[in-house]
Amino acid sequence: MKPWIRKLHKWVGLIIAAQFAIWTGSGLIMSLLDHDAVEGRVHRAHPREMPSWPAGMLAPQRVLADAGRPVQTLETAWLADRPVYRLADKADVWLVDARTGQGVIVDAAVAAIIATRDYVGGGRPETPEFLPKANTETRGYDGPAWRVSFSDGDDTTIYLSAQDGRILQRRNATWRLFDTVMMLHFMDYSGRQNFNNPLAILAGSGGLWMALSGMWLLIASFRLSEFTPVRWRRKRNLGIYAPDGTKLRLVESREGDSVFLALGRSGLHLPSNCGGGQSCGLCAVRLRGYAPPSTSSDREHLTAGRLRLGYRLACNLPVHTDLEVEVPGDAGLWVEQTAIVERITAVTPFLREIRLLPSSPIGREFQPGSYLQVHIPDYALPRQHIAHPEEHRDDWGELDLPATLVSKEPIRRSYSLSLPVEKADGHLTLLARFSVGSSSSKRQFVGKGSAYLYSLKPGDPIRFSGPFGDFALRPGDREKIFIGGGAGMAPLRAMIHSRLDQGGQERIHFWYGARHRREAPYTDEMAELALRHPNFTWHLVLSEMAEQGVALIRGLVHEATHEGLLRDHPNLKSCEFYLCGPPGMLSATLKLLRSLGIDDERIAFDDFKI
């Protein structure tokens, strides 16, 4: 259950954090605003002393008798310079002339006089505007009103009741700013004054959930053994085996360690892009003998078939007894290899082919679909170290890169072979995307691995481990459907070249998606392969800009594949599917294939676990 809670915790936290920033900012603004200006006191005249009530006015009893309707209250008042009686019954209010007993109407002229006498400042009153019902600036009052605006720098406006001439509100630019900020602070986007509205309650509930789920994640991230000194824990043995059953090494561990940590302490670094954080799924190992029940992290990253075979994530597999595990990569886990950068080719503005000459001959284990773990050292590189061809200048000019690209500690990143070793004359060919993304800082976030690779020049040394991975062509001549996008071109290209070079005669389809044609690598090469091999078809799908031309299709690659091939295919269940690309594309394609009834055993995929 932890992965989905972690994901939900992250997104709810983002929403609550945004609202918290609004609360903080709006509270700060409200505290800095001048309270007298907000209350409209800056341009308010001192209250005038009311004259004595004149003699000879109608008696209140007479006014009540002539009212002709129920009256709850009666009070004396002045409307400008005119003595009047103010009568009220529930929500109904009206004025009566104190001399004649006739009803009095608050017209525009009277409203202008009252507003002008209440105002102090250099502004001139504009023509009063009648409002048949209240607006947001006179909320709390339901009757008709007069609005009198003044031409001063504060945009002062005075509202009067059209029933009895009372001044209802004094508004200005400062109050309007305060009102908008208070609306954001209270999260009351209609009434603007109710702090107990549903949105505020929901935000408070979200904050409580964040606290509780955060406590749960904190507790779940620790094991009791982590609080026990290493020397006090029992020693356990870890038997390390190759996938073919060959025993490679016996590692001493301590009870409570994870298999990932135990191997790392012994210098055996399992493939990982997350450093053991249970988010990349690269560190899967296979238990020999009894395998403990799978956890939610195991189920998130490993297929049901692999779970049944005893595969578990090493970073989530605690050592309580002696264990025997099969690891990927055989002895390559602890063998560091070196190579020299021989050639770098910019195949698109942000995809580069890097051709490496290994220091020693490489074996048959470097198969299409496998990947290397490139060792990225700590570095601080000036931005100028990343060169690009002149034809890509405009693309790179749109990036706001930091002046110095920094990685404070050594890391490892995974890159797939993009060409069979045999076809590359014993060289290793990688395809690296320059990874950029948004960040809280002003400049764009740059991937640490891609920044390092893009700074390399021919002749530079590079270190790597591997190969690793189980993404590979399956034996046999079943019809093959390749679906990819982005840097997922690399392993799919290597597989297609390998199969065609072997003389495979089965139908092979390749559907590749990009935003526009400039982002699609090796398009001419794929088109040339399709001409030379009648059993191979190539389809380029563009999601944003589909120029007119051969094999150019507009849309999302998984939808285009469904429309152009899968929907009318006579026997989909006999096909094999090979997928690689960005997480969103991969997830949508897997969902599509499963909805079509394709068994997981027929689907091989690699999402680079990033």
Q: Is residue 418 pLDDT above 60, yes or no?
A: yes
Collect all residues with Cβ–Cβ distance below 8 Å to 60 and sequence separation of at least 6.
Answer: 74, 85
Query: Per-residue pLDDT for 189 more than 60?
Result: yes
Cis geometry, peptide bond prior to residue 349 (ω within 30 degrees of 0): no
Q: In whole angstroms, what is the distance from residue 509 CA to residue 89 CA?
A: 83
* Number of neighbours of residue 502 by Cβ within 10 angstroms: 10
Across the range 428-444, mean pLDDT stands at: 71
Contacts of 68 (CB under 8 A, 6+ apart): none
208 vs 569: which has the higher pLDDT = 569
Q: Rounded mean pLDDT of the chain?
A: 86
Q: Which residues contact 88 (CB under 8 A, 6 or more apart)?
A: 71, 72, 73, 74, 94
Model pLDDT, residue 115: 94
> Are 296 and 307 spatial neighbours (Cβ–Cβ below 8 Å)?
no
**Do 78 and 50 contact (CB within 8 A), yes or no?**
yes
CB 226 within 8 A of CB 257: no
Residue 441 has pLDDT above 50, yes or no: no
Helical H segments across 187-308, by residue range: 198-220, 259-265, 296-301, 304-308
Task: Report the amino acid identity of residue 588.
Answer: A
Q: Is the pLDDT of residue 178 over 90?
A: yes
pLDDT at 344 over 90: yes
Average pLDDT over residues 87-95: 90
- Report the range of poorest mean pLDDT among 165-169, 188-192, 460-464, 499-503: 188-192
CA 182 to mean position of chain CA atoms: 28
172: pLDDT strictly greater than 90: yes
Q: Count Cβ atoms within 10 A of the Cβ of residue 312 and give its class: 0-12 exposed, 13-18 middle, 19 or more buried.
A: buried
Where b means 16+ CB within 10 Å and e means fewer, 136-155 reads ebbeebebebbbbbbebebe
Max mean pLDDT among 146-155, 198-207, 292-301, 397-406 falls in: 146-155
- 33-87, pLDDT tens digit by residue? 999 999 999 899 988 888 899 999 999 999 999 988 899 999 999 998 899 999 9
Domain positions in the chain are 2-37+178-220, 60-170, 230-332, 336-468, 480-606
Same topology for domains 336-468 and 480-606, yes or no? no
Q: pLDDT per residue over 456-492, tens digit each?
A: 999 999 999 888 888 889 888 999 999 999 889 999 9
- Which has the higher per-residue pLDDT, 316 or 171? 171
- Of the pLDDT bands very low, low, confident and very high (cuts 50, 70, 90), residue 439 is very low
pLDDT band per the 50, 70, 90 thresholds, residue 215: confident
Predicted local distance difference test score (pLDDT) of residue 440: 43
Kindly indicate the confidence band of residue 221, based on its pLDDT and cuts at 50, 70 and 90.
low
Cβ pair 282, 270 in contact under 8 A: yes
Task: Give the long-range contacts of residues 166-169, CB within 8 A, separation 24 or more.
Answer: 167/114, 167/115, 167/118, 168/138, 168/141, 169/40, 169/137, 169/138
- List all residues 6 or more positions away from 56 whose beta carbon is below 8 Å from its beta carbon: 99
The more confident residue out of 549 and 534 is 534
Q: pLDDT for 353-405, tens place per residue?
A: 999 999 988 877 888 998 888 999 999 888 888 888 888 888 888 888 888 88
Backbone angles phi, psi at 568, to 5 degrees: -110, 15
What is the Cα 160 distance to its own chain's centre? Answer: 49
- Banded model confidence at residue 1, pLDDT cuts 50, 70, 90: very low
Give the CA count within 13 Å in the CB-facing half-sphere of 392: 16
230-332 homologous superfamily: Beta-grasp domain (3.10.20.30)
Task: Please give the angle made by the CA atoms of 342, 457 and 392, to the nearest 5 degrees.
Answer: 110
Name residue 96's beta-bridge partners: 85, 103
Q: What angle do CA 206, 211, 215 make, to 5 degrees?
A: 145
Q: In a 10 Å sphere around its CB, with 0-12 CB exposed, 13-18 middle and 19+ buried, how is residue 296 labelled?
A: middle
Segment 253-267, tens digit of pLDDT: 877 788 888 887 777
Predicted pLDDT at 607? 65
Instruction: Inform me whether the pLDDT recorded for 610 exceeds 50.
Output: no
pTM of the shown model: 0.59
Q: Left if phi > 0, otherwise alpha if psi is -120 to 50, otherwise beta: which for 342?
A: alpha
Those residues whose C-beta lies under 8 Å from the C-beta of residue 124, and which sit 6 or more positions away, are: 150, 151
Contact, 487 vs 348, CB < 8 A? Answer: no
Pick from 27-36, 153-162, 220-229, 411-420: least confident: 220-229
Q: How far apart are CA 427 and CA 57, in angstroms?
A: 111
| Domain with residues 336-468, CATH architecture | Beta Barrel (2.40)
Which CATH code, of 3.40.50.80, 2.40.50.140, 3.40.50.1820, 3.40.50.300, is assigned to 480-606?
3.40.50.80
What residues have CB less than 8 Å from 193, skipping those under 6 apart? 139, 182, 186
Which pairs count as long-range contacts for 180-184, CB under 8 Å and 24+ apart, including other chains?
A: 181/26, 181/29, 181/30, 182/26, 182/30, 184/22, 184/26
What is the percentage of the chain residues whose pLDDT exceeds 90? 40
* Residues of the chain above pLDDT 70, percent: 91
Write the pLDDT tens digit of every residue in 303-316. Answer: 788 888 888 888 88
